[in-house]
Chain A
């Protein structure tokens, strides 16, 4: 079993839809949870960072962490074609070592 599981997609949604992206993990020591966006042939860009459980909102993006279920989510409201990218979850314990999901490819159709 992988430490971090993420559905690779692709996920296609119409413009304006609410997108839900998810990751599950097995290591209960993870405390830091990140979501990155990666456009084709580019490096990942940090979108959201959450420490421990709870919700965090930033504009159209909301990150949720449920440590009891070992489940994290990223919601994108009013999705736009420019949101089309691969979204990677990443997490770590008390060290610098991030474990990444495989990424979910999202396509927002105009």
Chain B
């Protein structure tokens, strides 16, 4: 089955620094990738959608300049949290699929970000 690899699984960073999270589709071409944030005991909240070769589409309330998304190839998307603050601490998860594959996208294993 489709596999999405996400790295790192955990990261601790100092306030004010930037953190990059990678999401790779290992055995398929991911024309569309999604980035979610999940707070404890809350549902996954879609942050942005990226399509290969074009700018990401951000959800309302998500700061584009803070959460930089790059989808440079059909197998790789990155999320960079810039100037991280403690309130950015969360579980970030990517998912990927071929455009139009509405019957469920494949999720990465998630990244636990802690900003101290």
Contact = CB atoms under 8 A, between A and B. Distances in A.
Closest 3 CB pairs of A and B: A43-B107, A100-B43, A46-B104
A43 B106 CA distance: 9
B49 A96 contact: yes
Contacts of A98: 44, 46, 105
Contact of B44 (A41, A45, A49, A100): A100
B34 interface: yes
Interface string A31-50: 01010100001111110010
A103 B104 CA distance: 17
B69 interface: no
Contact of A44 (B6, B99, B102, B107): B107
Interface residues of A, number: 24
Contacts of B32: 96
Residue from B34, B49, B91, B104 with most neighbouring chain A CB atoms (10 Å): B104
Contact of A96 (B41, B42, B102): B102
Interface string A86-99: 00100010101110
A46 B4 CA distance: 13
Given A32-B102, A96-B32, A96-B34, A44 B49 contact: no
Of the four ranges (under 10, 10 to 19, 20 to 34, 35 or more), the interface on chain B belongs to 20 to 34
14 contacts: A36-B107, A41-B110, A43-B6, A43-B95, A43-B108, A43-B109, A44-B93, A45-B107, A96-B32, A96-B97, A97-B49, A98-B44, A100-B44, A101-B43
A96 B108 CA distance: 17
Interface string B21-55: 00000000000101000000111101001000000
Given A43-B107, A49-B103, 9 more contacts: A8-B41, A41-B110, A51-B103, A88-B43, A88-B44, A96-B49, A96-B105, A102-B41, A103-B41
